[in-house]
Amino acid sequence: MRLQRLSRCLAVGALLALGGPTAAQQATSAATSAAETPTPAKLTVPYSLFRLPNGLTVILHEDRTVPIVTVNMWYHAGSGREKPGRTGFAHLFEHLMFEGSKHVKEGEFDSLLEAAGGDNNGSTNNDRTNYWINVPSNALELALFLESDRMGYLLDVVSPALVDGQRDVVKNERRQGVENAPYGQAQVRLGELLYPKEHPYHWPVIGYMDDLSAASHQDVTDFFKTYYVPANASLVVAGDIDPVKTRALVEKWFGDVKAGPDPPPVAAAPAKLTSVVRETMEDRVQLPRIYLAWLTPRQFAPADADLDLVASVLAGGKNSRLYKRLVYDLQVAQNVFATQRSSALGSQFVIVVTAKPAPGAPAKTPQAMIDEVRAIVDEELDRLRREPPTARELERAVNQIEAQYFEALERVGGFGGKADLLNGYYVATGNPDFFNEDVSRYRARSETDLQATVLTWLPPDRRVELTVLPKQQ
């Protein structure tokens, strides 16, 4: 039995190379005149990649910083793999993956990891479902055993009763996060307004209640057999590892997982907005809120990085344009938020403003408050269309993104850590070590690049305007 094959892992080593300046580079930098800007050191994260006969892609990375190892698995199956009328399966499977497998009894997945000093979690989005396990390096084999067993032997324990139980858990999660959460319905409605019904991003990741209720045991097992196959997954093992020994362990535990057919590709026509789409909804909230959203280029496409920088110029911190005007100077907004939501099939640029009564000003209706903040947002967007941001604004935006990026690189495991980035880069670009290229996208942008991007991708006449007003008593 696989459980009997599980043994204690040997202590292993690792290597981290984040491309610091060499002695020669330091000498060159010292000789550079003060008028010249030194070239940033190249960022590189070394890795090795191999594929098992069953199709599983494996990426290994050494990091000797601390005696911790992370096992990070991506299944290239998010909610975008679902069909209208059958939504919520990807997220439902995220729950099922923690309920035991053929050689791991229900409840043992967490208890075994906790006993070894580890932790784990998972997440689902439009494009993928990922699972990560962090353990001390001497418990690596335990993590590989657990991860491989649910890949190869989950359906041995997925009964109709188990599906019903986790379906109820997901439905309760939706009630808490959508139906009963302030502004929760707005997030769902925003996707519906941006994308046509047949588009994979139209429905929410968590799915619709009716679809979850209608999902049968056969529907769920069919989804697993189609998308949870080795050829549709990629595994990163990073941290305090010995690559040779780790490869042998991966082959030992994942080698007996049966291969499956290649899943069908995701096919979706590009979504388009041809006018302003306006909608108003009521919710049990205290303050009105407006969502302004545009359809923008997919992740890593031209202008994707520009829009990250535009979001920072507009709402990235207290010195940003919208925060300073709306929240600090005029005090007509509780908060303001802007983001480029990058995804594989296309992205969204979203500005969210929660309005509030200005202190000492005459009382206004909630709709009048929304009209005021919308006008100010449009003033700042128009200003970016007429003239580029200042060099200082661009520098601050690049610095903010770099700071967040390098903070993430300090962690090997968890959401957004180095292992997660290796996996994400591989899926999106085919190159796990896309770190330097990613950072360079931002360093290479100019002020006029951002102005041109706003003109092209954030037009005033092709967007969604979704307003949420307090529900009338």
**What CATH code is carried by the domain that includes residue 13?**
3.30.830.10
User: 369: Cβ–Cβ under 8 A, 6 or more apart, which residues?
Assistant: 288, 332, 355, 356, 357
Residue 230 is predicted with a pLDDT of 97
Whether residues 238 and 293 fall in one domain:
no
Per DSSP bridges, beta strands 463-470 and 276-283 are parallel
Find how far residue 17's CA is from the centre of its chain: 25
User: Which of 200, 222, 254 is the last residue in one of the domains?
Assistant: 254
Structural tokens at position 460: 């005033």
Radius of gyration of the chain (CA): 24
Of 299, 342, 144, whose CA–CA distance to 236 is shortest?
A: 144
**Got the DSSP string for 315-374?**
HSSTTSHHIIIIIIIS--EEEEEEEEE--SS-EEEEEEEEE-PPTTSPP--HHHHHHHHH
Residue 378 is predicted with a pLDDT of 98
Whether residues 131 and 27 fall in one domain:
yes
Of 125, 185, 111, whose CA–CA distance to 342 is shortest?
A: 125
Give the separation between CA 466 and CA 469, rounded to whole angstroms: 10
Alpha carbons within 13 A on the beta-carbon side of 170: 28
Whether residues 303 and 351 fall in one domain:
yes
> Phi and psi of 377, rounded to 5°?
-60, -45
Give the separation between CA 413 and CA 416, rounded to whole angstroms: 8
Q: Which residues pair with 440 in a beta bridge?
A: none
Q: Is 266 within the bounds of a domain?
A: no
Whether residues 70 and 100 fall in one domain:
yes
Whether residues 217 and 81 fall in one domain:
yes
The per-residue pLDDT string of the chain (473 residues; one tens digit each, 9 = 90 and over) reads 444 444 333 232 333 333 333 333 444 444 444 445 566 678 899 999 999 999 999 999 999 999 999 999 999 999 999 989 999 989 998 999 999 999 999 999 999 999 999 999 999 999 999 999 999 999 999 999 999 999 999 999 999 999 999 999 999 999 999 999 999 999 999 999 999 999 999 999 999 999 999 888 998 899 999 999 999 999 999 999 999 999 999 999 999 999 988 888 887 888 999 999 999 999 999 999 999 999 999 999 999 999 999 999 999 999 999 999 999 999 999 999 999 999 999 999 999 999 999 999 899 999 999 999 999 999 999 999 999 999 999 999 999 999 999 999 999 999 899 999 999 999 999 999 999 999 999 999 999 999 999 999 999 999 999 999 999 86
- State the virtual CA torsion across 248, 254, 260, 265 in degrees, nearest 10: -80
Inter-axis angle of helices 418-429 and 391-409, nearest 10: 110
Q: Is 210 within the bounds of a domain?
A: yes
Q: What letter would DSSP give residue 230?
A: G
Residue 54's alpha-carbon distances to 152, 247, 257, 260, in angstroms, are 11, 15, 7, 8
Residue 266 is predicted with a pLDDT of 83
Whether residues 290 and 208 fall in one domain:
no
Whether residues 117 and 55 fall in one domain:
yes
Instruction: Report the side by side order of strands in the sheet with 289-296.
Output: 276-283, 463-470, 289-296, 347-355, 333-341
User: Which of 254, 287, 322 is the last residue in one of the domains?
Assistant: 254
Whether residues 293 and 338 fall in one domain:
yes
Give the separation between CA 135 and CA 441, rounded to whole angstroms: 34
Whether residues 176 and 303 fall in one domain:
no
Residue 36 is predicted with a pLDDT of 55
Q: Is 422 within the bounds of a domain?
A: no
Q: Is 434 within the bounds of a domain?
A: no
**Got the DSSP string for 159-177?**
-HHHHHHHHHHHHHHHIII
Q: What does the buried/exposed string (b/e) look like for 42-52 if buried means 16 or more CB atoms within 10 Å of the residue's CB?
A: ebebbbebeeb
3-state secondary structure of 292: strand
> Phi and psi of 97, rounded to 5°?
-70, -10
Structural tokens at position 197: 């019904």
Of 134, 131, 220, whose CA–CA distance to 170 is shortest?
A: 220
Whether residues 295 and 354 fall in one domain:
yes
Of 311, 452, 316, whose CA–CA distance to 385 is shortest?
A: 452
Sole residue written with tokens 């002020």? 447
Of 466, 191, 237, whose CA–CA distance to 353 is shortest?
A: 466
User: Which of 197, 224, 254 is the last residue in one of the domains?
Assistant: 254
Whether residues 233 and 309 fall in one domain:
no
Q: Is 399 within the bounds of a domain?
A: no
Whether residues 40 and 133 fall in one domain:
yes
Q: How many domains, the chain? A: 2
Q: Domain range for residue 55?
A: 2-254
Q: Is 221 within the bounds of a domain?
A: yes
Q: Is 366 within the bounds of a domain?
A: yes
Q: Is 405 within the bounds of a domain?
A: no
**Is-contact 427 128, C-beta < 8 A?**
yes
